[in-house]
Structure 1
Amino acid sequence: MPHLEVITPSPRPDVWASNAAPCQVLFRIQAEADADVLCRVLNLFALQQLIPQQVQALRDGDTLSIEICSHEQSWHRAQIIGEKLRNLISVFDLQVQPVPAAKDPAMQACG
């Protein structure tokens, strides 16, 4: 039986902003409380090989409030992800904010 080789994926390079350093970003999303909306939102990060630092979701009736803290992408890539989030049919409000460096220690719950 052949040996399997473990390959560690490297972060996806941002070809449009190759010199940009990774930054910490808070995505605040308001969406309809559909059964698959959280999967569709997180899939946009997975497609970029990004694993968010923190994800919080709270359902209030027909609304799902989602906060995603991520620190592996450039600001440019965060804006692209934001535009893709806005295009999801269930999303009706989105805020994308850089997290100040002073809040850095584990992004202090990004709040």
Structure 2
Amino acid sequence: MNALERPLPRSDAWAANASHSTVCYQLQAEAEPDTLCRVLNLFALQFLTPHSVQVCQQDDWLDIEVAIGGLSWHRAEVIAQKMRNLVCVAQVSLENRARAELAVV
């Protein structure tokens, strides 16, 4: 699919007037061959492309960090909950990068 055929990003009907920001998901998941695909598929199903993805394996676990922009906090939380429902995921935390950057300044 090229850029002209790609559908427009889905709007968040539950938080249409909410501000959008960059969020960072931090996960700990089982180090299985399909784990990363399962996690990233939750974004792909909504036509979202992460800005960055970092993965580090430690023993039997993957430490995964995914940053993505243009989400309302409500939509980000819904995606985090879907991640928590994956059998291979042990832990998920969510951080609003815009707020974190303001706190540092």
Q: Which runs of 5+ in 1 are unaligned?
A: 1-5, 105-111
Q: CA deviation at 1:22?
A: 1.6
Q: CA deviation at 1:7?
A: 2.8
Match of 2:67 in 1: 69
For 1:29 and 1:39, how far apart are their aligned partners in 2? 14
CA deviation map 1:37-88 (0-9, x unaligned): 0000000001111100000001111000000000021111000000000000
Match of 1:19 in 2: 17
Match of 1:58 in 2: 56
Structure 2 residue matching 1:49: 3-state secondary structure: coil
For 2:32 and 2:58, how far apart are their aligned partners in 1? 12
Moved over 4 A (4+): none
For 1:64 and 1:57, how far apart are their aligned partners in 2? 7
Q: Percent identity?
A: 45
Match of 1:108 in 2: none
Q: How many equivalent pairs are there?
A: 99
Which one-letter code corresponds to 1:33 in the other structure?
A
For 1:101 and 1:91, how far apart are their aligned partners in 2? 26
Query: What is the aligned counterpart of 1:83 among 77, 81, 105?
Result: 81
Q: CA RMSD in A?
A: 1.6
Instruction: Provide the TM-score with structure 2 as the length reference.
Output: 0.87
Which one-letter code corresponds to 2:78 in the other structure?
I
